[in-house]
Amino acid sequence: MARPRTPPTHRARLAHRALGHALRLAVAGLLVLLAGVLAGLAEGGSSRTAARGHEREVTARRGPVRYTLEARLDDARHEVHGRGTIEWRNDGAIPQRELWLHAYLEAFRDSRAPLLEPDMARGFRGGAALTHLGGLTVKRLFARELDVDLWPRADRSEPTDVRVPLPRPVAPGETLTMEVEFIAALPSLVLRTGFAGEFHMVAQWFPKLAKVEPDGRWAHFPFRRFSEFYANFGDYDVTVEVPAPMVVGATGAPVESSEQDGRRRVRYLAERVHDFAFAAWSGFEEIRQMAGDVEVVALFPRGELEEAELELATAERGLRHYSERYGAYPYRRLTLVRPPPEASAAGGMEYPTLVTTGGSTRGRAVGVRALEALVLHELAHQWFQGIVASDENRSPALDEGLATYAEIEAMDAMWGGASVFDALGLRVSSEAVSRIVAKGVAGGGPLDRPAETHSDGRSYVGLVYARPATLLRMLAKIYGEDAMRRALRRYASEQRFAHPTPSDLVEVVRREVGEQAAIALRRGFEGARLDARVVRFASRKGSSRASWEGTVAVAREGSLEVPVELEIWAESGARSRLVWDAPGSDASLEWRGDSPIAAVVLDPEGKLLLDEQRRNDSRGAPRPTPRLYGFFGLALSVVAEVLWP
């Protein structure tokens, strides 16, 4: 889900290289455009074949649910009137005596609901006050096969997590068809869903079946501040009706459209997805572009064409990158919705085949890429959450961690070691920022734990996004990028259209990267920490002439036991490497060289991203610091000029 607010480092300012970036972008845009035109001319036939391939994959195996809904937006009352059918097949191993339905909008029925506790928002989204309440009123839930309206018997003691007893057990393989009628009252936009002025982000709006796990257990949960979603793959056939001036962006692809009496009706089909959301607003403008055989549509507020073009270009690049890393994007269409500024609480969220964006292009002059990072993050969710649909409520760190990993990897692959800041001669990568956020929550407990156990936004962002992502990046750096790439590729392909758990990720890492990496990953998910350091070194004359022997004592706190590299600087200037690759909290390593040891650097390549302190990583003599004097001297000169007489 939503990406955390940009860390402060992203926001650093001051000018450099603006023109360079702009030019590069313009050239890249032109090339992409040209390539698109040429590809379109030359490969019309083959792209049609590929599109058929897509359809084969998404229709290959029917999911256990099918929603056929009509959604009529009453824009004056900010309500969606819904009716239609929900088909459910008991996919579990045992007969079911009850259904569980999520009514997420019920969380917005009370402005003092725990969901909206402002203290919890600190460091994360959703701190604004709820000025207009929401809710989901179900009028009817008639089960055809049972010939009974199930809703009157529903147990709604937890309004977002409703238990619906069945008059008789439904056997494995048996299907229920429920006729449903409901009114979704949208709240003022505080957290992902709702309205702001005329802008409507319609998400989590219909009564939604919880998922039956293979063992027959229902994975259901009350909707809380950090909860996200979890559901079966299924087919959605949704007809959206809005006032005619409104432009709609929705999950899936439009198949029919008509206009009558000032109302516009568009029918969307989305197959093999696990949610359906749409945005409707009369202020949208639209641009689109083909990315291979995927049509990317960007909806954006008037006056933000520059941002929308950048989003489109980033999405196109991201689709290519992720498809190569994690398998082809299986759908025909991707919709980017850029909410207007007053609706920014809707931005930065992923739904199947639709993502909401945000972020400004301000700061590009100094290499800050907030907008690109947001698009790449939400786009990564099309794989890690969309296609590989892990339980976001029970294990939010799994999909957010992988999406953040993918985002960091893509950012640094596209823009190198200066992917988030590049000015004043200083360059900062996305990975470095992630490491700092991750180490800020060291000792914060397990990463793999249910969403509702997080106490505030800072802990949530650190433990769910940054730390798992940084842990995976660290293992990639230590055990090899190729091995990690293979592991994630395998995870994404084995779990395509499936519902994995963290152990499935650990398992592919075991197979592709190795036992030691898998143990580190498991321990890391359990909350393990790492602080490695050089304790001391000594050297003495060796037995032969011109040879020296030394010992280097190293130690580590925490149970993340990964190989630790050491670089030994001899007085002659020669450098050599030692590796501490053994379990335990300390070790003494032997060294041989041509002169005494002058200094020892632990982790010279900066692979130990979760190492909590770097100040204890080196031993030797303190060095002069002319650069720091130059940098701070310049800064103080500027301050004096501005503030002094």
Find the shortest distance in angstroms from Cβ 549 to another protein: 20
Q: Which does 1 bind (CB under 5 to 8 A by kind): another protein, Zn ion, none?
A: Zn ion
Residues 170-199 that bind Zn ion (CB under 5 A): none
502 contact, one of Zn ion, another protein, none, CB 5-8 Å limit per kind: none
As given in the structure block, the two tokens for residue 589 are 């390593």
Between 523 and 607, name the residue whose CB sits nearer to another protein: 607
The H or E element spanning position 432 is helix 430-440
Say which entry of Zn ion, another protein, none residue 428 contacts (CB below 5 to 8 A, set by partner kind).
Answer: another protein
Residue 631 partner contact from another protein, Zn ion, none using kind-dependent CB cut-offs of 5 to 8 Å:
another protein
Token couple for 560:
């993340």
Q: Which does 270 bind (CB under 5 to 8 A by kind): Zn ion, another protein, none?
A: none
Backbone angles phi, psi at 374, to 5 degrees: -65, -45
Position 150 contacts Zn ion (CB under 5 A):
no
**Nearest-angstrom CA–CA distance, 368 and 358:** 14
Q: Least distance from C-beta 238 to another protein, angstroms?
A: 30
Q: Of these partners, another protein, Zn ion, none, which one is at the site of residue 627 (CB under 5 to 8 Å by kind)?
A: another protein
Report which secondary-structure segment, H or E, holds 30: helix 18-42
Tokens of 296: 């990317």
Q: Strand 354-356 to strand 333-337: parallel, antiparallel, or no bridges (unpaired)?
A: parallel
- Choice between 112 and 623, CB closer to another protein: 623
- Identify whether the C-beta of residue 494 lies closer than 8 Å to the C-beta of residue 485: no
1 is a site residue for Zn ion (CB under 5 A):
yes
Q: Are 291 and 319 in contact (CB under 8 A)?
A: yes
**Span from 44-52, 88-96, 401-409, 439-447 in contact with Zn ion (CB under 5 A):** 401-409
Between residues 503 and 637, which has the closer beta carbon with respect to another protein? 637
Q: Are 279 and 337 in contact (CB under 8 A)?
A: yes
At 220, phi and psi to the nearest 5? Answer: -125, 160
The residue among 59 and 625 lying less far from another protein, judged by its C-beta, is 625
Give the pairing type, strands 564-570 and 135-143: unpaired
**Cβ proximity to another protein, 293 vs 617, nearer residue:** 617
CB of 600 to another protein, least distance (A): 9
Q: How far apart are CA 231 and CA 221, in angstroms?
A: 11
Partner from Zn ion, another protein, none binding residue 644, C-beta < 5-8 Å depending on class: another protein
Q: How many CA atoms lie within 13 A of 403 on its CB side?
A: 34
Q: What tokens does 405 get?
A: 């990993």
Please enumerate in sequence order all residues whose Cβ is within 8 A of that of 94, keeping only pairs 6 or more positions apart, or say none: 172, 215, 216
Q: At its nearest, how many Å lie between Zn ion and the CB of residue 33?
A: 30
639 binds, among another protein, Zn ion, none (CB under 5 to 8 A by kind): another protein
d(CA 284, CA 245): 10
Closer CB to another protein, residue 18 or residue 31?
A: 18
Q: Which is nearer to another protein, 76 or 628 (CB)?
A: 628
Give whichever of 94 and 305 is closer to another protein, judged by the CB atom: 305
Nearer to another protein, 4 or 64 (CB): 4
Q: Please choose which of another protein, Zn ion, none residue 41 contacts, taking the beta carbon within 5 to 8 angstroms, the exact cut-off set by kind.
A: none
CB 618 within 8 A of CB 593: no
End-to-end CA distance of the chain: 51
Q: How far is the CB of 385 from Zn ion (least distance, A)?
A: 7
Minimum separation from the CB atom of position 576 to another protein (A): 13
Which does residue 307 touch among Zn ion, another protein, none (CB within 5 to 8 A, set by kind)?
another protein
Which of the 8 DSSP states describes residue 71?
E
Binding site for another protein (CB under 8 A): 9, 13, 301, 303-304, 306-307, 341-342, 358-362, 416-418, 421, 424-429, 431-433, 435-436, 439-440, 569, 598-599, 601, 606, 613-645
Rounded CA gap, 36 and 34, in Å?
5
Which residue lies nearer to another protein by CB, 38 or 305?
A: 305
158 CB-near residues (< 8 Å, 6+ apart): 222
Stretch binding Zn ion (CB under 5 A), from 49-57, 269-277, 359-367, 395-403 = 395-403
Tell whether residue 389 is a contact of Zn ion (CB under 5 A). no
Instruction: Find the shortest distance in angstroms from Cβ 570 to another protein.
Output: 11
Whole-number minimum distance, CB 619 to another protein, in Å?
A: 5
Classified as helix, coil or strand, 137 is: strand
Tell me whether residue 20 or residue 303 sits nearer to another protein (CB atom).
Answer: 303
Residue 374 beta carbon to another protein: minimum distance, rounded to whole angstroms = 12
Which one of another protein, Zn ion, none interacts with residue 431, CB within 5 to 8 A by kind?
Answer: another protein
Q: How far is the CB of 378 from Zn ion (least distance, A)?
A: 7
> Site residues for Zn ion, window 287-306 (CB under 5 A)?
none
Closest CB to Zn ion among residues 92, 462: 462
Interaction partner, residue 19 (another protein, Zn ion, none; CB < 5-8 Å by kind): none
Helices (H), 442-560: 457-460, 467-479, 481-494, 502-512, 515-525
Cβ 122 to another protein shortest distance, Å: 18
- Contact criterion met (CB below 8 Å) for 201 and 134: no
Instruction: Identify what 52 binds: another protein, Zn ion, none; CB under 5 to 8 Å per kind.
Output: none
Q: Which does 427 bind (CB under 5 to 8 A by kind): another protein, Zn ion, none?
A: another protein
Residue 72: how many CB atoms within 10 A of its CB? 16
C-alpha separations of 619 from 476, 510, 558, 586 in Å: 27, 35, 21, 16
Q: Which stretch binds Zn ion (CB under 5 A): 21-29, 291-299, 403-411, 450-458?
A: 403-411
CA-based radius of gyration for the chain: 27
Q: Are 589 and 580 in contact (CB under 8 A)?
A: yes
Rounded to whole angstroms, the Cα distance separating 513 from 480 reads: 8
- With contacts defined by CB under 5 A, how many residues of the chain interact with Zn ion? 3
* Shorter beta-carbon distance to another protein: residue 79 or 307: 307
Q: Output the six-digit token pair for 299.
A: 């909806």
C-alpha 403/C-alpha 395 separation (Å) is 13
- Token pair for residue 357? 């964006």
Which of 209, 224, 198 minimizes the C-alpha distance to 106? Answer: 224
Residue ranges in contact with Zn ion by CB under 5 A: 1, 400, 403
